[in-house]
Amino acid sequence: MSLFRRTKPATPPASGIHHAHAFVRQSGGIRIDKLAPDGDSIQSAEKGAWAEYGRMDFRGGPDVCMAYAAAEECGRRIEIRIDKPDGRRIGTLAVESAGAADLFRENYAALAAVEGEHDLFLVFPDGALGLDWFVFSKDPGRETPAQRAARMRWWREARFGQFVHWGPYSVLGRGEWVMYQENWPREEYEAQAAARLRPGRFHAADWIRRLSGAGQRYLVITAKHHDGFCMFDTRVRGFEPVHAEGAAQRYDIVDFSPWRRDPMPDLARECRRRGIRFCLYYSILDWHHRSQLPVADGSGLTDMLPGMKDRYISEMKEQLCELVERYDPDLLWFDGDWGGEKWWWTASDGQALYRFLRTLKPSLIINERVKRDSGLGDFRTPEQTIPESALEGDWESCLTMNDHWGYHAEDHHWKTARELIRSLVDIVSKGGNLLLNVGPRADGSLPWETRAGLRSVGRWMHAYGESIHGASAGPFLCVSGHFRCTAKPGRLFAHVFDWPGERILRLPAVRNMIGAVYMMGKPGAPLTFRRAGGGIEIDLPARAPDPWDTVIVLEVDGLPEAVPES
């Protein structure tokens, strides 16, 4: 006897996340259960059971299937067939045994080439097996350099992003590490911080308007920081308050805070409305989760309790799947990985996480903190520092506007507009991005100093942003303390920090022919220049138009190229 479910009206693409419980019909040997970390899964109850998922469009040629499955014993398989239960087999998933019916892991199968629309059948020839969801995708290990460049293009062109650290620690107002540094018991931290988080002054449109006005092209916001509190509506078991273990309540802003709202959909929608890329931060370690105990040595690391690592990673990956499916982020920014190779989170764990996420969504960009110092990730993230020279590959300096990432009521050491602008220019001149952090108050408002700093940067970017967005590093290896250079094909941008008293800007020589020189925004008022003394001399007016950084444009043929030193 078959069980029928309502067929979806449109043919879904094969790419994307398909939930196993959303079948069209099945053989009768399938039951829906709550074994998976998010509670929704199916289990095959007999050998040869099958489930049908209706017509799917295999356009684009997926070459791998990933399924989140659980098997107590070895030798369990899922056959992937098309058009009928005994139809053409396009792949077989050999499900790795986890030793438990409710411990789910990702499993992969190479796919035979298939095109067009097909009814999809998953067949379970070996009996008891749990399945939560599955995807058809492209193998990230086969990405070509050209494909990687296309995936990274928006990030490389953006150059300037906004970091946001916001969570229960904002209630206490003593920085994002307050739970660890003050040794808060989990129950007391829940009661004094998480249970008091009521961001009545949060307005997504206002946040994103300020971000856009400052010239920032992407937002990275803390979905889950080290304190374990989820700033989104999670449904994954394991992330619950200490006093409610096993209950339906989750340790998140919807279930546990008096606000009872998820801010992420509003932020994602506003970002896309204004052309901003929406990105999420996630901490691998968790001071709150029942699997871990914070190490009291100042490092912030956690000890993993015996027998808990596999279950925590399973729940963590399920939560990351939630974030990808629900909010469709363009980038995932990881943290909490800094223990050595002998720590519980290893390079092989980071490698598996990277593959998992890139299979889940091939266009995702992921930082190196899936496990730093192991060659993983798409870009490096120096913190609270600007490298003295360009780093190899893609990189991003993340800086705070004062001395803390999360809101700190007593931290008044704010960077000036001059420091913010010159930091941005310095970083871009070396080929990096700036991710500038803000720490909102618990009520969702931004401190006045934060708003003032963003306005100042925005005014400068309105005049000179063309020299930042889409620009590459300048051609000169050595630069003077009073200027930096960025470049685009056909233009060299000289950022003059300190106006020369002699009113002559001296730049190193370039191979290119120079057509015209002028201050940005004034192409009709050319500046006199000449090649002299092995370099370029540009005559400047008596006063700098901008007190922090005036940009001089040199029109050249091709991408600016320095003359090598002899």
- Mapped onto helix, strand or coil, the DSSP state of residue 366 is strand
Looking up tokens 């209706």, which residue turns up?
A: 54
Q: What is the pLDDT of residue 480?
A: 65
The class (CATH top level) of 474-556 is mainly beta
Tell me which DSSP letter residue 408 carries: B
Tell me which DSSP letter residue 531 carries: E
Fold category of 3-137 in CATH: Jelly Rolls (2.60.120)
Residue type, 243: H
Retrieve residue 296's tokens.
């009291």
Q: What is the pLDDT of residue 194?
A: 87
Tell me which DSSP letter residue 224 carries: E
β-strands 105-110, 64-70: how paired?
antiparallel
User: Across 404-497, where does the E strand assignment appear?
Assistant: 433-438, 472-473, 483-488, 491-496
Q: What is the pLDDT of residue 380?
A: 97
Q: Where are the domains of the chain?
A: 3-137, 147-467, 474-556
Which distant-in-sequence residues (6+ apart) come within 8 Å of 426 by Cβ?
A: 386, 484
Which distant-in-sequence residues (6+ apart) come within 8 Å of 480 by Cβ?
A: none
Residue closest to 405 by CA, chosen among 424, 381, 429, 428: 381
Q: What is the pLDDT along the chain (566 residues), one digit of tens a residue?
A: 344 444 444 577 777 899 999 999 999 899 999 999 999 999 998 999 999 999 999 988 999 999 999 999 888 999 999 999 999 999 999 999 988 999 999 999 999 999 899 999 999 999 899 999 999 999 999 999 999 999 999 999 999 999 999 999 999 999 999 999 999 999 999 999 988 999 999 999 999 999 999 999 999 999 999 999 999 999 999 999 987 655 668 999 999 999 999 999 999 999 999 999 999 999 999 999 999 999 999 999 999 999 999 999 999 999 999 999 999 999 999 999 999 888 999 999 999 999 999 999 999 999 999 999 889 999 999 999 999 999 999 999 999 999 999 999 999 999 999 999 999 999 999 999 999 999 999 999 999 999 999 999 999 999 999 999 999 999 987 666 789 999 999 999 999 999 998 999 999 999 999 999 999 999 999 999 999 888 999 999 999 999 999 999 999 999 999 988 76
CATH number of 147-467: 3.20.20.80
pTM for the model: 0.95
User: How many angstroms separate the CA atoms of 285 and 312, rounded?
Assistant: 10
User: How many angstroms separate the CA atoms of 34 and 403, rounded?
Assistant: 45
For residue 426, how far is the Cα from the chain centroid?
23
Q: Which residues pair with 105 in a beta bridge?
A: 69
- Mapped onto helix, strand or coil, the DSSP state of residue 158 is helix
